[in-house]
């Protein structure tokens, strides 16, 4: 009986860790963290969120994206209560669609590469109406 309980505890622990990664999973627009975590928390507590937002590439509403990957996810960005950056997918950009990317409103956006469930990189862009129109974001 004890072995069964230990095996069950190990399985539950591994399942809990499977959702954790170095970057928060990309969510659907408007999806709350409670859809992934029963306690409503985000997967990764981001101590460096303020620095990441401060280091976001300053662009205009149209900017150039350069990447060697097949697909880039353009996401809006929310900052969860714990300071975690949570990207919410707006659209997926294929390699053919990279180049000039236009967003309709000023704000902080994320360009994510890798899998939706575990992005390998998240690059933040601060798009403003007065930002540089010749900005290049390299992923």
Is the pLDDT at 111 greater than 60, yes or no? yes
> Mean pLDDT throughout 104-117?
89
What 101-108 contacts at long range (C-beta under 8 Å, 24+ apart), as own/partner pairs, is 101/62, 101/63, 101/64, 101/65, 101/74, 102/61, 102/62, 103/61, 103/62, 103/74, 103/127, 104/61, 105/61, 106/61, 107/76, 107/77, 108/53, 108/56, 108/77
Model pLDDT for residues 71-101, shown as the tens digit of each residue: 999 998 877 666 677 788 899 999 888 889 9
pLDDT value of position 132:
95
Is the pLDDT at 63 greater than 90, yes or no? yes
Is the pLDDT at 18 greater than 90, yes or no? no
Is the pLDDT at 120 greater than 60, yes or no? yes
């Amino acid at each position: 009986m004890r072995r069964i309980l230990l095996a069950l505890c190990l399985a539950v622990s591994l399942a809990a860790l499977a959702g954790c990664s170095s970057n928060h999973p990309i969510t659907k627009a408007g999806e709350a963290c409670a859809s992934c975590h029963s306690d409503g928390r985000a997967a990764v507590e981001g101590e460096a969120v303020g620095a990441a937002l401060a280091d976001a590439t300053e662009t205009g509403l149209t900017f150039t994206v350069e990447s060697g990957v097949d697909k880039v996810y353009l996401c809006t960005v929310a900052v969860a209560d714990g300071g975690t950056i949570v990207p919410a997918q707006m659209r997926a950009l294929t390699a053919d669609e990279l180049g000039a990317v236009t967003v309709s409103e000023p704000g902080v956006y994320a360009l994510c590469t890798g899998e939706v469930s575990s992005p390998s990189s998240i690059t933040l862009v601060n798009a403003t109406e007065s930002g540089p129109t010749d900005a290049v974001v390299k992923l």
